[in-house]
Structure 1
Amino acid sequence: MEKIALLTDSACDIDEGTIEKYNVEVLPFRIIYRDREYVDKIEITPREVYDNMKYEIPKSSLPSLDDMEGAFNRFERENYTHVIAVTISSGLSGTYNALKMVSKKHDKLSTYVYDSKSTSLGEGVIVKECGKLMDQGKSFSEIVHCIPEMKKRMHFFFVFGTLEYARKGGRIGKLSGILGEALDIKPIVYFDNDQGICFTCGKVRGRKRSLSKMIDIGSRFLAKSPCDVYIAYGNAREDAEDIYDRISKLSNVKNIYMIGQISPVVGVYSGPGTVGVCYMEQKS
């Protein structure tokens, strides 16, 4: 009898109900300031990270090898037989490679480590979809087989409040050619499926237009099939609530979820003002 564990990292943004329902193990990143280091989502909140950015932009480090070993040891103690791990993009972090290395030491467990080539909602939605398949009684091999197809149905876009933090953190990806802040040019950003780094799928002038453009882009997926929609933000609750209200009125929105604040480790690089929307096409 298979017993499947779900594993992710703290860059993953999804509702706490999903984490609790499927007993998801979350490996925490570290948020590093000049005088102190914090365990992501445990010792520091997203709001604290965003509010402190006017004074200091912290750095981050991937989950520790000890934390990874501890997770696999717990799975073995609790008689799990299989592990499905969904990680932050390998284009942003070494977590994927480190976790693959650790998993090989635990040959009692059949482990599949999936590079989401994304972060935040892009990780969280895949974790949730895996949990749904577990509820349906799907086997480990069946779920693993479905994950690449899940990825094709998942479309995650976001708008930064400013490019300052991504630029300073070295996570700017292919956005470096965007001129700018002076012209109030706002890119709509996504993660490409090959490298797992940021690309631009549209540029408009002004904050309001950029948020509207993000909704317009999502409408093409809603025209194709019913979608679950997920929204997250970084200290931009009013904008996120406005987008929630506008999208909830569109046709083919099956469910819409306000996930809340983007995780601290993602917020270090995305900064305050970021709003993300993820459209997950649902099978008919």
Structure 2
Amino acid sequence: MKKFAVITDSCCDLTFASLQQYDLTMFPIRVIYKEKEYLDKIEISSEEMYSRLHEEVPTTSLPDLHYCENKVHELKEQGYTDFIIITVSSQLSGTLNALRILSEHFPDLNFHFFDSLTLGYPQGVIAMEAGKMAQSGASFEEVLARLEDVRKRTYGYIALDTLEYLKKGGRIGKVTATVGELIKLKPIISSNDDGVLYTYCKVRGKKQSFAKVKEIILSHLDKGKCSIWVLHGDALQGGTDLYEILKGHPNINHLSLEVVGPSMGVHTGPGVVGCAILEEF
């Protein structure tokens, strides 16, 4: 059987513990400040990024290709010949294309690229499921054959506390942001089947925003068993409150509280609460 590795980029927001648990390799996105750039999660933590947001809003860029190339060399030396690379949506980042070009430096290895068509923890869910399948003895081909089904059953929603950071990142028009701020609209965003971010809905005020995320999760649970990852970005109380509300629900197979990472938090800003959902019915 081929010895294959599952790789994802740090937009996946998985912790090092989860990466290790599912035997996943991570390629870090670069978080760029005026004076220095950092490797996401390796050289800068969520806590540090959020603490510095009031001073400077950094930008993000493609993974450090030198780091990625060295990591592939390491895996090759360990006997890996085949690689499944699960990336942030190609509609939102050039990561997939950059890594595809990098793979051409290794003509003796076999790479398969899987576009998650999403970002953040939903991308991480897909990667974890791939890791689980590999650990259970599934072949390279079997994992690839099942990934599309996993993607179709994975959902993500995040409620923004402010539109400021999307505006600074050029993700929405300034007029839209200004009007939204004036009437205190809180957008809940998701990604569509084409891998593009869209506004799932808008609600007025923080309480309604929290209630809507809860309602969305419960609507999935009403249909059957799910695994739920509650997400927060510098909003521990909100994330904890949502986690406590959901705890003990009979249709939840897995429930955990996770933190939005630096490369995502740069664009969503602080005070966000959301979820990743894997339908398992």
TM-score range, shorter chain: over 0.9
Partner of residue 50, structure 1:
50
**Aligned equivalents of 1:182, 1:281: Cα separation in 2:** 37
The Cα shift of 1:249 comes to 4.1
Could you tell me which runs of 5 or more consecutive residues in structure 1 were left unpaired when the two chains were aligned.
none
Taking structure 2 as the reference length, what is the TM-score of the superposition?
A: 0.93
Paired residue for 1:215? 214
Structure 2, unaligned stretches of length 5 or more?
none
Partner of 1:163: 163
The 1-side partners of 2:122 and 2:241 are apart by: 21
* Alignment match, 1:191: 191
Which deviates the most, 69-78 or 148-157? Answer: 69-78
Residues in 2 aligned to 1:115 and 1:257: alpha-carbon distance in whole angstroms: 25
SS at match of 1:224: coil
Amino acid at match of 2:23: N
TM-score, length-normalised on structure 1? 0.93
Deviates more, 1:121-130 or 1:111-120: 111-120
Partners of 1:2 and 1:179 lie apart in 2 by 55
Contact 1:186 1:205 in 2 (8 A): yes
d(CA) in 2 for partners of 1:91, 1:47: 28
C-alpha distance in structure 1 between counterparts of 2:21 and 2:3, whole Å: 15
1:177-234: CA deviation from partner (whole Å, max 9, x where unpaired)? 893111111111101121x222112211111111111121222221222000012211
Number of the residue aligned with 2:228: 229
- Give the distance between the partners of 2:262 and 2:275, measured in 1 at CA: 17
Aligned AA (2:277): Y
Indicate yes or no: 2:260 matched with 1:279.
no
- Once the two structures are superposed, what CA deviation does each residue of 1:25-46 show, in whole Å capped at 9, x if it has no partner? 2111222111222222122111
Partner of 1:262: 260
Which position in structure 2 is the counterpart of 1:127?
127
Q: Provide the residue aligned with 2:6 in structure 1.
A: 6
The residue type equivalent to 1:223 in the other structure is D
The 3-state SS of whatever aligns with 2:11 is coil
Aligned-pair distance for 1:109?
Answer: 2.3
Secondary structure of the residue aligned to 1:181 is helix
RMSD, matched Cα: 1.9
Q: Is the 8 A contact 2:39 2:64 kept in 1?
A: no
User: In the alignment, residue 262 of structure 1 is paired with which amino acid?
Assistant: V
Residue 250 of structure 1: how far off its partner (Å):
3.2
In the TM superposition, residue 143 of structure 1 has moved relative to its aligned partner by 0.6
Q: Residues 38-187 of structure 1 correspond to what in structure 2 (within 5 A)?
A: 38-172=38-172, 176=176, 179-187=179-187
94-103 vs 234-243, which deviates more?
A: 94-103
